[in-house]
């Protein structure tokens, strides 16, 4: 009979013992895990906090209630201090907490992934509590304004050291003063973080020092450069423009810290010189008359300041001190379209027309639509180009020549700069449709405007409020498109014409379909103490609400280029009258 060595028996028993032990530990661990899962199946796991508030061992509803009660009993209060002085507080800023979202995040901790991931995360939570940030929404404008005011009371502009000629005629250096500035973005983040936690919080506002220190190594060089300009001027010029720098102006260009030239002063001079030197490149403007394209005005070659070269030459001239005249370096920019291109543009026939009427418009409205039309007139659109009406007519404000007329703003018809420009977008929209061009962006008005229904039904209008709202189309024809605008102030009508190359496309525009109509809202009367007693002034006009659509189809032979439906939803509108109560208010 075969006998086993005693050591073999011992090893066998040891392996058996270890196996049993591991099985036992696995069984115990499994029991613990199952028991843990069962115990916390309806509540948040231990050692979980939201903004410092412990919500462990609570169900979702209780946790959310706990947070609400905590913030109700200890509302978040943030006080700002600077060097021990009370500067401001953020307590008046409206805010709202998303307790439900935070509780959902807290509930998910230690529950995602496989068993191993769950055990790892729960183990880490045992040794270090898990913190969940509480989402907050707040009045950003109010908080930013409060921070700006606080920063304004602390910030101090630095005063740069200066080179001066003293009373005795000697050149000397006057030390500067350091500046202070608040990091507003960092302060905002700190305030918002504190607002997400209950209780009172204090923040010491931190500042950055803007040093005005002099580099001692630069002093001798700066004084030597300044001495070259004592009693001498520097003339910088371009064609008929000239700017003369006196010695004290030149001294400002001499650097006293890190570099031999003061870059900030060079930038200031550059901004001063640019508008006096630069000329915007402009395309040649054409008209279509008597069956052909003719030049209306020639192109303009653009001139731009060569800023890099200007800064370099200015520095070299100041440091050398051996010349008193510096010609401003420029570069030319070519326009895209020149008069010589007149026969290569592909502008041959009329391809689309848009019309509208503006009877009963006030004089300022007529002025605005005429001005905007003049800035659109002669616009050229290259093949494949996306045309933007907003970019073409530019900024609409009093500074660009527009006057106050009625516009739609925040649900009301009010006086605003550029009222009437939507007559331009509406008329152009109609010309685009008749030309069979693809419309990229178009938005209808908030309500039915009577001007645009004087010669067409509702739904064929377009508003513009650049850059948020624009009218755009693509030139998908083989040649350039030329837009011509005609405003008839006598008959109160306008006509826009688009000229280009015909590629055989045919446009079909269906009559407008009106459905879901609602009556106009009841007339509103508002007391206005600024008007005399008994007077009445209409500031808004009634209009019925409606949902309107029309079909737009463009075909070229058997090929369909466009097949879409334009929808417009108009709100019902109320007439609003201001009723004077002036004398009653004074009594």
List the end-to-end C-alpha distance of the chain, in Å, as a whole number. 130
Please name the fold of domain 216-341.
Ubiquitin-like (UB roll) (3.10.20)
> What is the per-residue DSSP string for 397-443?
SGGGT--EEEEEETTEEEEEETTTTHHHHHHHHHHHHHHTPPEEE--
Tokens 């913190």 belong to which residue? 131
pTM, whole model, 2 decimals? 0.55
Is residue 246's pLDDT more than 80? Answer: yes
pLDDT digits (tens, 9 = 90+) for 119-147: 888 888 888 998 899 999 988 888 999 99
296 vs 117, higher pLDDT: 117
> What is the DSSP secondary structure assignment for residue 21, as one 8-state letter?
H
21 vs 335, higher pLDDT: 335
Distance (Å, rounded) from C-alpha 547 to C-alpha 114? 53
pLDDT digits (tens, 9 = 90+) for 70-97: 999 999 999 999 998 998 888 888 889 9
Distance (Å, rounded) from C-alpha 105 to C-alpha 109? 7
Residue 135, classified by CB atoms within 10 Å of its CB into exposed (0-12), middle (13-18) or buried (19+), is middle
Q: What phi, psi does 217 have (nearest 5°)?
A: -70, -20
pLDDT digits (tens, 9 = 90+) for 252-268: 999 887 788 888 899 99
Helix/strand/coil (H/E/C) assignment for every residue in 230-276: CCCCEEEEECCEEEEECHHHHHHHEEEECEEECHHHHHHHHHHHHHH
Query: What are 228's two structure tokens?
Result: 């070259």
Distance (Å, rounded) from C-alpha 540 to C-alpha 522? 12
Residue 174, classified by CB atoms within 10 Å of its CB into exposed (0-12), middle (13-18) or buried (19+), is exposed
Distance (Å, rounded) from C-alpha 398 to C-alpha 375? 15
pLDDT digits (tens, 9 = 90+) for 152-174: 999 998 888 888 888 888 888 88
Distance (Å, rounded) from C-alpha 562 to C-alpha 337? 29
Question: Which residues are 386's β-sheet partners?
Answer: 474
Q: How far is CA 120 from CA 43, 58, 123, 127, in A?
A: 19, 22, 5, 11
Q: Are 499 and 482 in contact (CB under 8 A)?
A: yes
> What is the per-residue DSSP string for 31-92?
HHHHHHHHHTSSSPPSSEEETTEE-TT--HHHHHHHHHHHHHHS--EEEEEETTEEEEE-TT
Query: What are 381's two structure tokens?
Result: 């659109």
Distance (Å, rounded) from C-alpha 97 to C-alpha 101? 9
pLDDT of residue 20: 65
pLDDT of residue 586: 44
> Which letter, b or e, does each residue of 372-405 get, where b requires 16 or more Cβ atoms within 10 Å of its Cβ?
bbebbbbbbbebeeebbbbebbeebeeeebbbbb
**Spatial CB neighbours of 548, under 8 Å, sequence gap ≥ 6:** 457, 458, 459, 512, 513, 514, 515, 567, 568, 569, 570
Tokens 């500042």 belong to which residue? 207
- Mean residue pLDDT of the chain comes to 86
Report, as an integer, the average pLDDT of 26-31.
59
Sequence-distant contacts of 411-414: CB under 8 A, at least 24 apart: 411/446, 412/539, 412/540, 412/576, 413/539, 413/540, 413/541, 413/576, 414/539
pLDDT of residue 385: 95
pLDDT digits (tens, 9 = 90+) for 458-512: 999 999 988 788 999 999 999 999 999 999 989 999 999 999 988 999 999 999 9
pLDDT of residue 238: 95
Strand-pair category, 412-417 with 439-441: unpaired
439 vs 410, higher pLDDT: 439
Can you say whether the dihedral through the CA atoms of 24, 25, 31, 34 is positive or negative? negative
pLDDT of residue 338: 81
Angle at 114 between CA 110 and CA 115, to 5 degrees: 75
Element (H, E) at 522: strand 521-528
How would residue 31 be classed by pLDDT, with cut points 50, 70 and 90? low
> What is the DSSP secondary structure assignment for residue 98, as one 8-state letter?
-
The SS3 of residue 151 is helix
| Domain boundaries for CATH 3.10.20.800 within the chain | 216-341
């Amino acid at each position: 009979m075969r006998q086993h060595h005693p050591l073999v028996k011992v090893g066998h028993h040891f392996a058996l013992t270890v196996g049993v032990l591991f099985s036992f530990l696995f069984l115990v661990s499994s029991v613990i895990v199952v028991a843990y899962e069962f115990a916390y199946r309806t509540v948040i796991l231990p050692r979980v906090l939201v903004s410092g508030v412990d919500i462990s061992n609570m169900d979702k509803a209780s946790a959310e209630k706990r947070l609400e009660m905590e913030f109700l009993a200890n509302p978040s209060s943030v006080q700002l201090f600077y060097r021990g002085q009370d500067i401001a507080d953020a307590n008046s800023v409206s805010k709202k907490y998303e307790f439900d979202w935070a509780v959902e995040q807290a509930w998910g901790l230690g529950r995602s992934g496989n068993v191993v991931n769950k055990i790892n995360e729960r183990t880490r939570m045992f040794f270090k509590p898990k913190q969940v940030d509480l989402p907050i929404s707040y009045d950003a404008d109010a908080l930013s304004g409060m921070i700006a005011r606080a920063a304004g009371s602390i910030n101090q502009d630095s005063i740069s050291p200066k080179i001066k000629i003293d009373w005795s005629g000697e050149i000397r250096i006057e030390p500067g003063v350091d500046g202070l500035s608040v990091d507003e973005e960092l302060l905002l983040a700190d305030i918002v973080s504190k607002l997400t936690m209950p209780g009172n919080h204090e923040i010491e506002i931190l500042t950055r020092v803007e040093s005005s220190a002099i580099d001692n190594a630069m002093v001798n060089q700066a004084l030597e450069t300044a001495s070259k300009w004592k009693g001498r001027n520097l003339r910088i010029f371009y064609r008929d423009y000239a700017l003369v720098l006196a010695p004290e102006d030149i001294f400002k260009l001499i650097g006293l810290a890190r570099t031999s030239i003061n870059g900030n002063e060079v930038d200031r001079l550059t901004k001063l010189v640019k508008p006096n030197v630069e000329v915007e490149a402009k395309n040649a403007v054409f008209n279509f008359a008597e069956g052909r394209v003719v030049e209306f005005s020639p192109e303009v070659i653009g001139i731009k300041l060569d800023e890099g070269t200007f800064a370099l030459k200015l520095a070299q001239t100041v440091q050398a001190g051996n010349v008193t005249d510096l010609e401003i370096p420029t570069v030319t920019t070519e326009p895209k379209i020149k008069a010589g291109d007149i026969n290569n543009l592909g502008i041959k026939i009329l391809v689309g027309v848009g019309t509208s009427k503006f009877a009963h418009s006030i004089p300022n409205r007529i002025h605005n639509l005429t001005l905007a039309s003049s800035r659109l007139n002669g616009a050229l659109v290259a093949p494949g180009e996306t045309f933007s009406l907003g970019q073409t007519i530019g900024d609409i404000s009093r500074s660009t020549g527009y006057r106050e007329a009625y516009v739609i703003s925040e649900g009301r018809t009010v006086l605003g700069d550029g009222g009437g420009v939507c007559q331009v977008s509406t008329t152009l929209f109609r010309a685009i449709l008749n030309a069979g061009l693809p419309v990229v962006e178009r938005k209808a008005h908030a309500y039915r405007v009577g001007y645009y229904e004087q010669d067409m039904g509702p739904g064929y209008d377009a508003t513009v409020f650049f850059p948020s709202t624009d009218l755009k189309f693509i030139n998908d024809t083989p040649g350039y498109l030329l837009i011509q605008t005609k405003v008839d102030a006598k008959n109160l009508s306008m006509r826009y014409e688009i000229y280009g190359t015909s590629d055989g496309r045919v446009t079909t525009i269906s009559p407008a379909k009106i459905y879901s109509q609602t009556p106009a809202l009841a007339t509103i009367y508002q007391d206005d103490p600024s008007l005399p007693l008994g007077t009445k002034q209409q500031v808004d006009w009634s209009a019925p609400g409606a949902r309107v659509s029309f079909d737009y189809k463009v075909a070229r032979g058997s090929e369909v280029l466009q097949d879409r439906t334009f929808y417009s939803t108009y709100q019902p509108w109320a007439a609003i009258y201001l009723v004077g109560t002036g004398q009653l208010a004074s009594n």
